[in-house]
C-alpha cells in the first residue's frame, strides 16, 4: 500500500468514525447491545438441571420409605415441592408444572424389602420438557441404584455374611469443566455468536446508507478505489468489535467466573480474524442489497440463526442429521466457537486449533475478496 492509498483509506475510516460518533444509536448498538445480550443469555440460558421440583406420595410412611425419599431431596438434583395423598393431586401438580417429577411409594414398602421381595416404586416424569425429563430420569436411576446397593450391603451385614463390594466401581473424573457448569460452556460460545451477529449488523448498513442518501455517486467520482472504501469503512467497526471482545472477556471473568485457561493474546488474535470476516460479510450484504432495511433483515437471517443453531454453541453437531452436519462446515461461527471453547476450557493453542484458525482465515479472505469484486462492479 502506497502513501496515497493509505491516506485515502484513513480518510474513509475518519468519515465513517464521524458518522458513528454523530449517530448515538449506532454507537449504542455497537457497544451496549453485545453487553446486554451477554448479560441476558449468560444469566438466563443454562443447561444445568438442578433442583427439579418433585411431589411425593408416600403410602408406606415408614423410616425406610422416608430414608428413600431423603436420597432424592438430599441431592442437588431434586427439590421436594409437596406431598400428595392421591393421584389427582399428582396430576394437578404436573399439569400446572408445580412439579416435574412424581414419586409414588407403595404400601408395605419396608415390609417387602425386609422379606427380600421386589418393590414396584413408580416415578412419573413430565415429558413435555423432554430434555429435563431425560436428565432427571438418569438422576433418579442413579439414586435408586445406590439405595438398592445400600440395602443389599446392610442385609448381608446383618446376616453375618462375608463383606461384599461391587466388582466395578466408577470414579468419574471430569477434565476442563470440573464443576460441570453449563455457564463455562455457554459463555465462550456466546461471545462468538454475539460477535458474528453484531459485526454483520453494523457493517450491513454502511454502503446501503450511502446509496440511500445519494452520497455514493460522490464517492464514485473520487479517486477512492473499491478496496480502499471497504477497508476504510471496516476499520472503525473493527476497533469497536475488538473493544466488545475485551468487554466480553472481562464480563466473563468477573460476572460469570468463567476461567480463561489459555492465552488471552490468542483469543484476541482469533477474534481479529473472525471479526474481519464477519465485517466483510456485512459489507457484502450492504453492497448487494443497496437498502438498509433489506440489508438489516438479511444480516439477521444469515448470521443469528445459523450461528445460534448450527455452530455447536447450543447443540452438539454430532447429534445433528448428516445433511445438517454438512451445512455446518460453511458456518464460520462453528470454527470460532470451537476455538474459544478450546482456549477457555482446555487452554490449548494453535497446535490443536490450527485447522479452525486456518478455515477462519480463509473465510475472512473470501468475504473480503467477494465484497471488493462486487463493489467494483458497482463502480463500472
What are the DSSP calls for 19-86, one per residue? Answer: HHHH-HHHHHHHHHHHHHHHHHHHHH------SEEEEEEESS-SHHHHHHHHHHHTSSSEEEEEE-SS
Q: Other C-beta atoms within 10 Å of 189: how many?
A: 23
- What pLDDT is recorded for position 377? 46
Q: Report the C-alpha gap between 46 and 306 in whole angstroms.
A: 20
Residues 22 and 137 in one domain: no
Q: 271 vs 132, which has greater pLDDT?
A: 271
Q: Report the C-alpha gap between 98 and 89 in whole angstroms.
A: 11
- What pLDDT is recorded for position 221? 63
Name 56's bridge partners.
Answer: 83, 103
User: Would the pLDDT of 100 be above 80?
Assistant: yes
Residues 33 and 57 in one domain: no
Residues 76 and 34 in one domain: no
Please tell me the total count of domains within the chain: 2
Residue 105 in any domain: the answer is: yes
Residues 319 and 203 in one domain: yes
Residues 35 and 114 in one domain: no
Residue 164 in any domain: the answer is: no
Residues 35 and 138 in one domain: no
- 230 membership: H or E segment, kind and range: helix 226-254
Q: Other C-beta atoms within 10 Å of 115: how many?
A: 8
Cβ distance 54 to 79 under 8 Å?
Answer: yes
Residue 166 in any domain: the answer is: no
Q: Report the C-alpha gap between 192 and 334 in whole angstroms.
A: 9
Residues 278 and 371 in one domain: yes
Residues 115 and 261 in one domain: no
Residue range of the domain that includes 353: 3-46+181-379
Residue 250 in any domain: the answer is: yes
Residue 283 in any domain: the answer is: yes
Mean pLDDT comparison of 33-42, 176-185, 259-268, highest-scoring range = 259-268
pTM of the model: 0.77
By CB neighbour count within 10 A (0-12 exposed, 13-18 middle, 19+ buried), where does 44 fall? exposed
33-78 tens-digit pLDDT: 888 888 887 777 776 778 899 999 999 999 999 999 999 988 888 9
Interacting residues of 255 by C-beta distance below 8 A, sequence separation 6+: 39, 42
Angle at which helix 264-289 crosses helix 350-379, to 10 degrees, equals 20
287-305 tens-digit pLDDT: 888 777 787 788 888 888 8
189-242 tens-digit pLDDT: 888 888 887 887 777 767 667 666 666 656 666 667 777 777 888 888 888 888
Cβ distance 206 to 229 under 8 Å?
Answer: no
Mean pLDDT of 99-122: 89
> Could you tell me which of 120, 80, 71, 76 has the C-alpha nearest to residue 100?
80
Amino acid at each position: 500500500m502506497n502513501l496515497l492509498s493509505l491516506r485515502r483509506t484513513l480518510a474513509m475510516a475518519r468519515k465513517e468514525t464521524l458518522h458513528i460518533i454523530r449517530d448515538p444509536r449506532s454507537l449504542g448498538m455497537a457497544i451496549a447491545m453485545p453487553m446486554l445480550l451477554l448479560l441476558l443469555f449468560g444469566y438466563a440460558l443454562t443447561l444445568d438441571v438442578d433442583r427439579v421440583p418433585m411431589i411425593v406420595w408416600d403410602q408406606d410412611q415408614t423410616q425406610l420409605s422416608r430414608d428413600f425419599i431423603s436420597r432424592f431431596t438430599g441431592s442437588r438434583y431434586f427439590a421436594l415441592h409437596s406431598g400428595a395423598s392421591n393421584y389427582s393431586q399428582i396430576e394437578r401438580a404436573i399439569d400446572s408444572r408445580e412439579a416435574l417429577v412424581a414419586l409414588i411409594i407403595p404400601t408395605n414398602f419396608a415390609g417387602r424389602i425386609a422379606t427380600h421381595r421386589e418393590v414396584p416404586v413408580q416415578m412419573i416424569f413430565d415429558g413435555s420438557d423432554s430434555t429435563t425429563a431425560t436428565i432427571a430420569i438418569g438422576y433418579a436411576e442413579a439414586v435408586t441404584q445406590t439405595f438398592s446397593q445400600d440395602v443389599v450391603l446392610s442385609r448381608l451385614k446383618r446376616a453375618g455374611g462375608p463383606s461384599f463390594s461391587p466388582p466395578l466401581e466408577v470414579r468419574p473424573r471430569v477434565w476442563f469443566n470440573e464443576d460441570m457448569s453449563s455457564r463455562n460452556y455457554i459463555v465462550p460460545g456466546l461471545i462468538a455468536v454475539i460477535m458474528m451477529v453484531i459485526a454483520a449488523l453494523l457493517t450491513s448498513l454502511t454502503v446501503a446508507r450511502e446509496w440511500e442518501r445519494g452520497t455514493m455517486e460522490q464517492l464514485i467520482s473520487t479517486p477512492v478505489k473499491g478496496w480502499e472504501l471497504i477497508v476504510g469503512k471496516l476499520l472503525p467497526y473493527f476497533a469497536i468489535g475488538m473493544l466488545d471482545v475485551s468487554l466480553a472477556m472481562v464480563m466473563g471473568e468477573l460476572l460469570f467466573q468463567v476461567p480463561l485457561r489459555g492465552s488471552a493474546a490468542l483469543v484476541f488474535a482469533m477474534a481479529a480474524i473472525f471479526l474481519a470476516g464477519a465485517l466483510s460479510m456485512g459489507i457484502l450484504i450492504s453492497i448487494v442489497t443497496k437498502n438498509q432495511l433489506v440489508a438489516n433483515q438479511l444480516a439477521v437471517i444469515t448470521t443469528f440463526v445459523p450461528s445460534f443453531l448450527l455452530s455447536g454453541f447450543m447443540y452438539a453437531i454430532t447429534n445433528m442429521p448428516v445433511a445438517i452436519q454438512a451445512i455446518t462446515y460453511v458456518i464460520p461461527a462453528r470454527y470460532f466457537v470451537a476455538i474459544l471453547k478450546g482456549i477457555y476450557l482446555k487452554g490449548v493453542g494453535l497446535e490443536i486449533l490450527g485447522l479452525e484458525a486456518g478455515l477462519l482465515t480463509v473465510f475472512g479472505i473470501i468475504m473480503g475478496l467477494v465484497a471488493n469484486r462486487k463493489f467494483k462492479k458497482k463502480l463500472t
